[in-house]
Amino acid sequence: MRLINAHTLALEEFFGASIPKYAILSHTWGSEEILLTDWTEIEASSKELGVELAPAKAGYAKIKHALNQAIRDGLAYLWVDTNCIDKPNWSELAEAINSMFAWYRDAVVCYTYLEDINEFSIPPTKQELQSCRWFTRGWTLQELLAPDKVNFYSGDWTFLGSKNDLADTIKDITGIPKSFITGRHSIYKASLAQRMSWVARRITTRPEDIAYCMLGILDVNMPLIYGEGYKAFIRLQEEIIKSSADESLFCWTFDNTVPMDWVSVLAPSPIVFRDSSNFEPYRLFRGRK
């Protein structure tokens, strides 16, 4: 796991039990993100000149604010998806995506940056939060559910509240029961159909990512095959069947989004689960009340 040292800005690698306590950033990507190659160049140039070089990119400012917040919270390290993964390295990318839920889960705190919210929107209204791009993206679902502690910040890095503070509003926006948002109940107590319904209205830039962003939420690991398109979601369901007896996986709606020639019992995409939030896993031995 590659982490940014909040004091030196150096990227450092850790493995297993040697991983220190760290904060983690949740955000949506823009056009001015700082990638791993950018960060290493900044690090090398700053070291050579003896002064920090700050690129005029929104992505850099976002990371710096998160690093400063980590220091205020007494944490020396931060993980950010833009510059802590070597994305051209396919094996590293695959490992990162399969590990990402665990990385968010194990973070001391997750800083969720809502650039759509301005300083005059505190506390933010339900309508303002609902319009945030963050609530529409596939990858941010696990970033909401995996960490114990999630703190929300506005576009100018003003604290908006924790996910526990905003749980009722988040429940209304996402359709996810409050007990799963706050962590009072494990998300793995929810049926497969219910968990699928949480991502049904979300989108990803690449079609395969709507499957890959659900790996941790569905407790599945599988290889990544970019270029396979919708088949990634089929493959995801095939992996689930290997280890789960939860038949709610088949509780989806054959609506007008489904190709007319579709003959599989497996769903073509998560959108057909949008009305499946009320299915509960059947437990054979419930015990006496």
The H-assigned helical ranges of 73-138 are: 90-106, 126-130
- pLDDT (0 to 100) of residue 288: 47
Residue 215 DSSP symbol:
T
Residue 80 and residue 64 in contact, taking contact as beta carbons nearer than 8 Å: no
Q: pLDDT of 214-270, one tens digit each?
A: 999 999 999 999 999 999 999 999 999 999 999 999 999 999 999 999 999 999 999
Token look-up 């759509």 returns: 116
Among 163, 166, 74, 61, which Cα is nearest to 111's?
163
Instruction: Report which residue type is found at 116.
Output: D
Phi first, then psi, for residue 150 (nearest 5°) are -125, 120
The DSSP element (H or E) to which 111 belongs, if any, is strand 109-113
Task: Give me the residues of the chain with pLDDT under 50, please.
Answer: 288-289
Strand pairing report for 77-79 and 159-162: unpaired
CA of residue 212 relative to chain centroid, distance: 11
Separation of alpha carbons 67 and 56, rounded Å: 17
| Type of residue found at 161 | G
Q: Alpha carbon 102 to chain centroid distance? A: 11
pLDDT attached to residue 48:
58
The reported pLDDT for the residue numbered 41 is 87
Do the Cβ atoms of 195 and 77 come closer than 8 Å?
no
Neighbours of 136 (CB within 10 A): 14
Q: What is the pLDDT of residue 125?
A: 84
Predicted confidence at residue 284, as pLDDT, reads: 54
Residues linked to residue 159 through DSSP beta bridges, in sequence order: 153
Q: Which of 124, 112, 98 lies closest to 224, judged by CA?
A: 98
- The radius of gyration of the chain from alpha carbons, rounded to an integer in Å, stands at 20
pLDDT at 36: 95
**Inter-residue contact 79 to 27 (CB < 8 Å):** no
The torsion angles phi and psi of 78, rounded to 5 degrees, stand at -140, 140
Instruction: Specify the pLDDT at position 121.
Output: 66
